[in-house]
Each structure stands twice: as C-alpha cells, then as structure tokens.
Structure 1
Amino acid sequence: MTDSPEFKDEESIRRGQEFINEVYRKMSRIAEEFAAGEINRAQFHRLYNRYQRQIMTVSQMIAESDPSGWETAVKSDESTLHIRRQFEAKAIGLSIYDNRTGMPIETIGDFSLDAELIVPMLSSYRQATAEIFQAGVRSTEMENGQWLCFMSGAYTTLIVLFSVEPSSNRIMLLDRMHRDFEIANAEFLEHGYTSADQLAYPFYSFIKRSPLDTQDLETELDE
C-alpha cells in the first residue's frame, strides 16, 4: 500500500521544519565561531546569508508550493565548506624587518609591495608601538581589498600580506610564529648578525608558495 500524497506532504513539511531548526543552530554556531576569532567577517557574512536563504527557501516552498521540493532546492546551493575555503584569508607573502636598521631581513612568498608604500606605514606603526607599550598587532585594509598586518618583536617587525581580512585566530597564530622566530634566532638577532641564510623561519608552512625546496628539507631531516 502506497502512502497518500497528503501523508507525503506532511512528512516533507516535518523534515523541512527540522531542517530549518538545524539551520538556526548553525547560524548560532557561526556567530560563536566569529566571536571566538575562528572565522573572518567575509566568511561570517557569506555563511550567514547562505543560511538565511536556505530558511527562506524552505519556508516558502512548504507554505506556498511543493513541500517535497525543498530538499532539491537546498542541495543546489553552494556548500558551506566551499564558502569557508573561498573566503578564508590566505597569507600571500611576508617580510621581516630589522628594528635597528629598518632594513628587510628576508621576504617569503609574494610580497611585491612598493617600498614607498611600506616604509611610511612601518614608520607609523613603530611610532605607535613606542608610544603605547605592547601595542600589539595592527591590521589595515588596502585599496585592492588585501590586508596588511604588522607585529613588532624585540628585534624585528613582521609584515604579512593577506588576500582578505584574517581572523583573529590566524593573527594570533602568526604572532606566535613571530615570537618563535625571535626565540630561535635570538643569538643572531641580538648581536646584529642578521644574514638571511643563517636564520630559521617558522613561517614557511604559513605561506602557500614557499621558496624552501621540499626535497632538500626531507634530506635534511633524514640526516
């Protein structure tokens, strides 16, 4: 005996309402993730808008048209994972500057920014950190939508170029890497021996395209 159309509609409506409740929980979850610094604003806005569209679509189809069609409509929407990856801030490149000389020690990745742009911003950041003890990380958006993050250490200042605004967790990770960089290279940095090929860099895994050759690294580890 087959189910009646009315029963199928009731079952579709029930599943649709359960789906809406689950989406509401997801909306609350991404609000908590943003508050915890786990996602950036672009990810939050795009994900939240997606969830809103899903709720509106399902609610409208349940109320006005074919209750059984909402699942197909929702499946055609872009995935949450795709949105997270698409709007995730990627570290394009970084440059490490010596605090004493004001000169770059090393550049990793694609950091092809004009010195005429960087020098005034670096000078302004250093002035702020001098006036405010432990001023911390400063981030600024550029005209092309990319973001620059400045963080100062005892010996060096790290400048990182991101594709979009980074989440606070990503900045915290990078700040920790910067501290580890100064700890690992303290002897060289303290005495001013800042030859790039003498230093260890925790940042390689953070930059998508690293100049470090993987095969050479594996050989070093085997030894």
Structure 2
Amino acid sequence: MENRTKYLFLTGFCLAQVMAFTPQVFAAEEAERDDRPLIEPDVKPVPVDEALIDTENFEVGAFVGVLNIEDFESSLVYGGKLTYHLSESFFFEAGIGFAEGGETSFENLAGNVQVLTDSEREYRYYNINLGYNVLPGQAFLTENYAFNTNFYLIAGAGATDFGGDTRFTLNAGAGYQILLTDSLAIHLGVRQHYYRIDVVGAEKTSMNTEISSGLSVFF
C-alpha cells in the first residue's frame, strides 16, 4: 500500500513538471519562427510620375520670339527646327527663321529716305548647329509630378538673306528644354547671330540677338 502511494505521488509530480514546461517550449519555438520586427515603420513610397524622352532620335519643332536686327530695330521672328539626337549629350539641329527689318535711325530722321526696299528688309536665316546637353535635371510641378529638363549649349554656321545679299553667318547660344510628356517638349532659348554687313556705311560685324520659345515633338 505504501509503495502504491509513492508511485501515484511520483507520477503526479512528473505530470505537473511536464505540463509546466510544455508552454515554455512552444513559446520559444513560436518566437524563433516569428522574425518580424517589433516596430513596423508606417512609411509608404510616394510614386513620382516623370516624362522621359521617347526612344525616337528625331525631333521637329516650331518657335516664335523676338530678333534684334542691329541698326534695323527689333522684329518678330518665327521658324522651325529639325533635330537629330546623336546620344543623350550631343545633337544636330537644322533651323530656319523669318523676320523683317525695321527702319534705321537715319530713315526715321530723314523722313522719306529709304536705305532698303521692302523686299530687301525681309530677313531669313538658315543654320546647322551642334548642341550639347550640359545640365540634365528635373523640375517639380508638385511633389508627385516631375518634368525632366535639359540646359544645353549650341553653336553652328549658316547663311542670312538680308539687305539684298546672302551673308555667311555664325551663331551661338543656350537653351532650356522641358519635357512635358515622353514625346512633347518646350524650349526656351537665346541666340546670337554674327555676319558682316555694309548696308548703313563701312562694313562691320552685325550682332543680332534672338530670344524665343517653342514646342517640339519627338518621332
């Protein structure tokens, strides 16, 4: 009888130890399986929608602005451009522009005297230029929308029809391109046109400043 009592007592004691230890084992195994951080940061990335240059290398555009024709006042200038992008940095541009020369100060003072006829006042230039994208960047309209941009330098040579003659012309300037969509862009630019002229006296180098804005399409 005494041995049976000891046996029952030992059996109950062992069962109690097993029951007390089992939850700790399951808790340790659960902790090992759960590798999630104790604090999960509530940070969500904000998508930014930006326009990229399309895969096409050609770009065609039109522009309008103001051209200061030395000795012949400032005039409205307009024209078109065809651009071929050699790479992300370099591009070729062929352009044509139209304007009309005004009256010289001498003509304004003399009254009926005309230095040039109406047809000779028609101003037209052609040029082929090489451009280089110096500072590609981004312009943010809102925190969720960005425009890709390019600040570029450009220079080249061509010809100018003015004053009854065709004159070899050099030009140089800079521009700022804003990509509205993958295939549509706005341009803001300034150019200097240099050629030799002798219409109002001794031959000299005429420097004509052009400021313009335009719209172009990639295709």
TM tier, shorter chain? under 0.3
* Structure ranking higher in helix proportion: 1
